[in-house]
Amino acid sequence: MTTTTTLERRPAAVSLGAASRRSGHWQRVTRRATPYLLILPALVVYAVFTAYPVFRQFEISFFNWHIFPGASNPFVGLSNYTKAFEDPNVRTAAFNSFLWIVVTVPLEMAIGLFAAAVLADRLPGSALWRAAVYIPVVTSWVVVSWVFSYIFASQGGIANGVLGFFAGHTESIDWTARTWTGNGVMWLLTIWKGIGWAFIIFLAALDGVPRDLAEAARIDGASEPRVWSNVVIPSIRAAIAFVTVMLVIGAAQTFAQVYLVTSGGPYNSTQTLMSYMRQQAFIDFAFGYAAAIGSVLALVLIGFSWVEIHVLRQQDL
């Protein structure tokens, strides 16, 4: 009707094929151009608003950049990069970022998968449980960082209250003030907030697990854990890889929580790469330096993701 053209008057596929074969030069051009036209709007927006700033930022990393427009920005080549590799603070921050990844990602995935396993099949109130597990993901970092600060407040926080109740502690722990408990609180916060995300991906992934295979395995007498390790997990391999990549990237980019919960303290011992970068850029005004650190981090993450995606693609085929 209104959406059909003259070529589509007849619905049968065969004659249609003939019609398009009979189509002229213009039709072929349109056809070949279509994919490019389709991806063009998104690419343009992306190129302008993300890609270009990224290049600028990369460019800045090679200069000793000053804010004031018109000020001379001496080209310093790779010295920002060498400085980054020699800076002990970078090492601490990189170590913290690494720890962050190693601690939070596996736990988020494990608990997320567990939650998905629990909620994969119907339950009374399914929608409610699923919503409950996912909601932390959509909350604001600022808000939950403060809530967690409260829970772990050294005096009057619930955490200490609970500890006191169970363990008879009269001395309360100053959670956010010491390095390791401070890290612990932030990790807990990150894990709490990330579980729902892994959960929802895994939930969808579990949906695609071949039920008959699982049932066949059970009939053959396999125990439930066996069914899982031999049937379920392999069939959600791709989802696992995907979630890993995304969570790692997310963990490497943590910044807000550090800022809010411990302010990077006890000074600089809980800084992650992102928060250290920000400090260098916006408090110490060392933009070129911060950009260099950022570029290195980005390259590492891209490398990691590239590897993971290749693994994913192999299995996709």
In the window 130-189, what residues touch another protein (CB under 8 A)? 130-144, 146-158, 160-161, 174-178, 182, 185
Question: Taking the complex as a whole, how short is the minimal distance between the CB of residue 9 and another protein, in angstroms?
Answer: 10
In the complex, the smallest distance separating the C-beta of residue 247 from another protein, rounded to whole angstroms, is: 12
d(CA 239, CA 255): 26
Burial class (CB in 10 A: 0-12, 13-18, 19+), 2: exposed
Interatomic CA distance for residues 188 and 100, integer angstroms = 10
Shortest distance in whole angstroms from residue 124 CB to another protein: 7
Select the residue interacting with another protein from 6, 25, 124, 225 (CB under 8 A): 124
Does 34 bind another protein (CB under 8 A)? Our answer is yes
C-beta of 103 vs 152, nearer to another protein: 152
Say if CB 10 and CB 16 are below 8 A apart: yes
Out of 6, 26, 71, 167, the residue judged to bind another protein by CB under 8 A: 71
Q: Is 38 in the site for another protein (CB under 8 A)?
A: yes
- Which positions from 91 to 120 touch another protein by CB under 8 A, shown as an x/- string? ------------------------x-xxxx
Taking the least distance from each CB to another protein, the nearer of 56 and 91 is: 56
Report 189-218 residues binding another protein (CB under 8 A): 192, 195-196, 201, 204-209, 211-212, 214-215, 218
Amino acid at 196: G
99 or 265: CB nearest another protein = 265
Q: Select from 87, 98, 269, 311 the one that contacts another protein (CB under 8 A).
A: 269
Q: Are 5 and 26 in contact (CB under 8 A)?
A: no
Which residue's entry shows tokens 């303290």? 265
What's the rounded Cα separation, in Å, for the pair 234 and 228? 9
* Greatest C-alpha distance within the chain: 88
Please report how close the Cβ of residue 121 comes to another protein at its closest, in angstroms: 4
53 binds another protein (CB under 8 A): yes
Which 3 state secondary structure label does DSSP give 75? strand
Query: 194 and 103 in contact (C-beta within 8 Å)?
Result: no
The Cα-based distances of 301 to 90, 244, 246 in angstroms read 16, 12, 10
